[in-house]
Amino acid sequence: MSEAATGLCSPEALVLWVDGEILVAQKPAGLSTLVDGFNPGAPFLLGLLGRLYSPLWVVHRLDKWTSGVIVFARTAQSHRALNMQFERHTTQKIYHALVHGAPKWEQQRVSLPLRPDGDRRHRTVVDPLHGKPAQTDLLALERLPDFTLVQAAPRTGRTHQIRCHLAELGHPIAGDTLYGGKPLPELGRFGLHAFSLQFDHPRSGERVAFQAAYPEDLEAAIGALRSRRATQPG
């Protein structure tokens, strides 16, 4: 678990941008966006940031073990404006995922309807009859031994959309045991990172973009795979 997730990181260190309308932060893996229902006493991102930047409104969430960029609203008006952008899918979210295997495609659009909480393990499942439309654009960024670094751009916002779509293609995210991924010792969690986020600033209307650098654990995992590739014959 990251230092921030254990409460050892200051809220200021998590902030990528802050003004009177929005706060953009880099969420560490292992830190829930909101209070963890299974562990109410654990630190959570909104609580940490709220110590210095209250009030904050939640616009979207990242899974507990997903790292990366997230935006909060700082006024009720900005909250409404950002919510509308997310609902209309005018934001652009880019994730990077370390997945098992070597996809045969360089890029692909996945259009598979999804139904959340669709089985006994409470997973999102592909359901052509009762699922809601879901689209994810995929791009192979780097091929590594037994793994591929993939860019995933969700065009819809279904629960666990990227995780489910990649698993359905036969390339589950490394470490995502819920969807068939196997643990990667260098990582210790599943390899999904919210790399960038674009949206219209709720006050100025200007298109703004933010990026979150890879955290140390993901950098270490990718570095280890690159080193393995460099030592392979041929």
Active site residue 63: yes
**Continuous segment of H or E residues that includes residue 73:** strand 67-73
Residues 17/23/29/31 CA torsion (nearest 10 deg)? 140
Residue 228 exposure: Cα atoms within 13 Å on the Cβ side: 12
In 3D, which of 106, 115, 107 has the Cα closest to residue 136? Answer: 107
Peptide bond into 55 cis (omega under 30): yes
The one catalytic residue among 19, 36, 63, 200 = 63
9 with 216: CB under 8 angstroms?
no
Look-up: residue for tokens 């909104």? Answer: 46
Residue 22: strand, helix, or coil? strand
Residues 194/20/86/3 CA torsion (nearest 10 deg)? 20
- Strands 147-154 vs 92-100: parallel, antiparallel or unpaired: antiparallel
Residue 33: strand, helix, or coil? coil
* Residues with catalytic function: 63
